[in-house]
Amino acid sequence: MQSPNDTESAAFYPSTTDGDIRNLRLPKRRKRIALVAQGGGQRGIYTTGVLDSFLDAGFDPFELYFGTSAGALNISSYITRQRGFGHHFITQYTTNDRFFNLVKYVRRQQFMDLDWALDMAGPNNVDGLRVEQARGVLSERSAYACVTNTHTLEPDFFHLFEGDWVNVLKATCAIPMLYPSPVQLNNNFYVDGGVSNAIPAREAFNRGADIIVVIRTEPVVEDKAPVSSVLVENLRSRMEKRLPDYLARLNIEDRLGKLSEFHEQLSNRLEDIRHRYRESTPEPLWHKIREMMPKHKHQNGGRWLFGGDSIYRLHASRGKSSMQICWKC
């Protein structure tokens, strides 16, 4: 038997049937779309082509932008609406001897001059990035660059075109051993974001992206080109000899646990490379490459376009070669 209170409650809170629920239409939330740009040095010229095509078509549905190394630079020029900026940066600045010269680096005379390149691309240069334009685009959007914390070896993300954003770009491109020191941001030190997170798609998801568009600078399929295991062992040896000195410059020589972890990760990566590529000839591949190289100096050529794994080839290239090496940012 219902009490009067029950009757009042039933009248005040009318029952809802399953049909009512099915017919109930909630307002749809607009999907958040994120753009993620991988690094890859001069391979980033592919990314510049994609983003310039977006600009030509007036296409920018993105609310979130994420970039690592060269990807962060390309994202920056896309946000500033400067068509051709990324192409010019890669073809004019990163091919300049002032930026990097292999022979001088091997002789320990010159590191990668990232400071000069970013000065040329910075807001103080008449042809540099247009900061105010970027801030207008980002008034209701967010853009991030990925960097690697030298203490935790984990990725961190900093806003582009906010605060000390030029040093954020420098940090995301500061390749260990090619750039002389880590970059300080706030109270921490950072190096190339590609060390910890070359494609920060997970970060885009964690920040609420429903659709994630990724621009890669390397193929998804594994490269089956043969590489000699002798070369891999040579690279491992050279890297392991130089790691302690470099880590000492990061002021983490007292963190033996991190040093051991870093060493193990490097060894595992090189071991993976050796298993991925089968040795097709008993003769070391590097010896063949050196025999094929011309004896005279290359005229503004002989540059390597390389990504993550290939950077280790640098440390096997000591000798008489005059080949230049270019940027892996």
Of 52, 69, 76, 317, the catalytic one is 69
Long-range contacts of range 55-59, CB-CB < 8 Å, 24 or more positions apart? Answer: 55/81, 55/83, 56/83
Which of 33, 310, 38, 323 shows the shortest CA–CA distance to 172? Answer: 38
- The whole-angstrom separation of Cα 113 and Cα 304 is 17
Q: What are 43's strand-pairing partners? A: none
Q: Which two tokens stand for residue 130?
A: 């247009």
DSSP-derived 3-state class of residue 36: strand
Tokens 């680096």, residue located? 105
Cβ contact 169:134 at 8 Å: no
To 5 degrees, how large is the angle CA 315–CA 37–CA 140? 140
Q: What are 65's strand-pairing partners? A: 35, 143
- The whole-angstrom separation of Cα 60 and Cα 291 is 49
Per DSSP (E only), the strands in 77-209 are 142-149, 155-159, 183-185, 188-192
Of 77, 156, 192, 196, the catalytic one is 192
- The whole-angstrom separation of Cα 177 and Cα 173 is 12
Cβ-Cβ contacts under 8 Å for 236 (sequence gap 6 or more) = 266, 267, 270
- The whole-angstrom separation of Cα 276 and Cα 27 is 50
Whether 77 sits among the annotated catalytic residues: the reply is no
- The whole-angstrom separation of Cα 316 and Cα 234 is 7
Whether 164 sits among the annotated catalytic residues: the reply is no
Positions annotated as catalytic residues are 69, 192
